[in-house]
């Protein structure tokens, strides 16, 4: 079965559809749990499937370094290796190269980087990125792009965007497996004129889908949403739209309102392991003393295994004791919360009641403080030693 996308219903900008892949049909809007290294942290593939997910994300950068593309291919490809029979989207690894590697040097040909694991030097080209993803056997693969930092100058962002375009052309030419959909990545930072130019260039190449890259990298939330709205409105309506690296409940509902079909982020699983659980009122820190004697679950009417089985007090005890079960139970809850939100969103779009759902969401939900969010993101990028040496030649 080849990849395809069917738009079923729109409601005031929000879209409900179906993403058809060789490993099943994925209802959209859809959220993909992140399994960068061939696993969604703390859970088995069966548990992820039981929650209701039909597509996950894996990362070429991580899998290239460990266990290696040859090993994954020799084990029958990513689906067989990790025992996942649903759809898989693989990121090309471009963002990880630029954010995790201690030192990167970008040229027209590709990017030279050092492994964040052992410091060994590697070279990645657009052609290799396509070849690696083909050998992993993903259903949807991504072009290799250059991800700009939020504080990069207009000239530097433009330079990176133009190289991304040339690399996209090379990825398009190298792409041979028609059972794999190839998505382009729109860049251009937060500059409207560059985003428009990127959309025009990439849509002329007629990719299977289009992602919005280079966002949620430390810029203010208001600017993110403005850029998403402007960019998504310019993309072809018959192709899926993917907002990369976004996964908080508030960002998902606002992304859907601006016409986004696919989301991914490690945030739900990462904050779960730190004791932050999603509720309809916002995140709650299960470590707080408030929960030490709470006999009810963290969300009283939640249908997830964690809330159906355990009290908030027990979950707090597990975190306080450093028990590994704490991470599993919190992860199950957060992924269930996001999946349940996606289901409600799809029903509301189909019923023509998305605006009402959005209003109800915001009447109760308190998002994480903006300054704290930006500060945490900037600290994370700094902790990864993000250093780029860009020496681009050519047109």
* Residues forming the active site: 91, 264
Structure tokens at 367: 């998002």
Structure tokens at 328: 């599993």
224 C-beta neighbours (distance < 10 Å), count: 22
* Distance separating alpha carbons of residues 269 and 196, to the nearest angstrom: 33
Exposure of 324 by Cβ count < 10 A (0-12 exposed, 13-18 middle, 19+ buried)? exposed
Nearest alpha-carbon partner for 146 in 131, 176, 177, 124: 124
Relative to beta strand 55-59, strand 30-33 is unpaired
Q: Determine which helix (DSSP H) or strand (DSSP E) holds 284, and give its type and residue range.
A: strand 282-285
119 C-beta neighbours (distance < 10 Å), count: 10
Q: Secondary structure of the chain: what % helix, strand, coil (to 5)?
A: 45, 20, 35
Q: Which residues sit opposite 19 in a β-bridge?
A: 5, 26
Nearest alpha-carbon partner for 184 in 130, 134, 228, 103: 130
Q: Would you say how long the chain is, in residues?
A: 395
370 C-beta neighbours (distance < 10 Å), count: 11
Q: Which residues of 267-293 are buried (b: 16+ CB within 10 A; e: fewer)?
A: bbbebbbebbbbbbeebbebbeeebee
* Distance separating alpha carbons of residues 91 and 133, to the nearest angstrom: 8
Residues whose CB falls within 8 Å of the CB of residue 79, separated by 6 or more in sequence, listed in order = 23, 85, 88, 137
């Amino acid at each position: 079965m080849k990849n395809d996308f069917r738009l079923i219903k729109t409601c005031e900008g929000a879209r409900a559809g179906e993403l058809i892949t060789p490993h099943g049909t994925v209802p959209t809007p859809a959220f993909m749990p992140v399994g960068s290294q061939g696993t969604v942290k703390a859970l088995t593939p069966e548990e992820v499937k039981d929650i209701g997910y039909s597509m996950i994300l894996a990362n070429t950068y991580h899998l290239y370094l460990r266990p290696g593309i040859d090993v994954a291919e020799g084990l029958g490809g990513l689906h067989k290796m990790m025992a996942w029979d649903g759809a898989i989207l693989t990121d090309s690894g471009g963002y990880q190269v630029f954010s995790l590697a201690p030192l990167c040097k970008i040229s027209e040909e590709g990017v030279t980087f050092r492994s964040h694991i052992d410091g060994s030097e590697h070279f990645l080209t657009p052609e290799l990125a396509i070849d690696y993803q083909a050998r992993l056997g993903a259903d949807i693969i991504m072009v290799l792009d250059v991800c700009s930092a939020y504080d990069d100058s207009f000239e530097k962002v433009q330079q990176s965007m133009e190289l991304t375009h040339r690399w996209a052309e090379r990825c398009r030419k190298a792409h041979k497996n028609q059972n794999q959909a190839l998505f382009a990545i729109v860049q251009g930072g937060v500059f409207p004129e560059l985003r428009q130019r990127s959309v025009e260039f990439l849509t002329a190449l007629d990719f299977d889908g289009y992602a919005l890259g280079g966002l949620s990298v430390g810029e203010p939330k208001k600017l993110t949403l403005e850029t998403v709205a402007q960019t998504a409105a310019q993309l072809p309506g018959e192709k899926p739209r993917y907002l990369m690296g976004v996964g908080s409940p508030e960002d998902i509902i606002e992304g859907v309102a601006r016409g986004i079909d696919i989301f991914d982020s490690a945030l739900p699983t990462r904050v779960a392991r730190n004791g932050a659980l999603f509720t309809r009122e916002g995140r709650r820190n299960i470590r707080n003393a408030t929960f030490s004697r709470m006999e009810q679950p963290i969300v009283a009417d939640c249908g997830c295994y964690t809330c159906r089985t355990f009290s908030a007090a027990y979950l707090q005890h597990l975190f306080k004791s450093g028990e590994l079960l704490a991470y599993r139970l919190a992860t199950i809850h957060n992924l269930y919360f996001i999946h349940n939100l996606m289901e409600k969103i799809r029903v509301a779009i189909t019923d023509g009641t998305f605006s009402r759902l959005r209003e109800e969401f915001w009447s109760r939900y308190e998002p994480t403080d903006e300054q704290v969010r930006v500060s945490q993101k900037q600290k994370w990028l700094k902790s990864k030693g993000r250093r780029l040496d860009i020496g681009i030649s050519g047109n």
